[in-house]
Amino acid sequence: MSTPSNPTLIITRQTNADLSSSEWLLVKPNGDDDLDLAGAGDLAIGALTNDVADGSGTQTVYVPVQVGGMIKVACGGTCTAGALAASDSAGKAVNAGDGDYAFGVALETHASGDVGSFLWAPSYLETT
């Protein structure tokens, strides 16, 4: 009998931004060793966990970022099982469209407001 295993690779990255209300959102690099929320179709480096912090004060903080394996991301729209997913303008997951950088594949169908499971598999969706 096998045992389920859903490993996630998590790294820590520093930020000077207030990410305290950004759990499960996609992030991108911004400047020197800093993070910002990913925008619509942006190339995300990963997704925050639920252990987020406010780095906008005088001290830089470090936040955990999911960068591989099975990750959790807040959904901003429908994410269809087996389809490529990308970031919307708020750093949430949506079905990828032409010209988007996809961050992964939806493992189940999710609706807006869900925290969904995705297989991290960055790619670029070309217009055909």
The whole-number pLDDT of residue 57 equals 74
Spatial CA neighbour of 15 closest among 78, 59, 45? 59
Asked if residue 79 lies in contact with residue 94, where contact means CB atoms within 8 angstroms, the answer is yes
Rounded to two decimals, the pTM is 0.91
- Domain boundaries of the chain, sorted by first residue: 9-67, 70-124
**What does each of the 128 residues of the chain score in pLDDT, given as a tens digit?**
566 777 889 999 988 888 889 999 999 998 877 889 999 999 999 999 988 888 777 777 889 999 999 999 999 999 999 999 999 999 999 999 999 999 999 999 999 999 999 999 998 877 66
The whole-number pLDDT of residue 15 equals 87
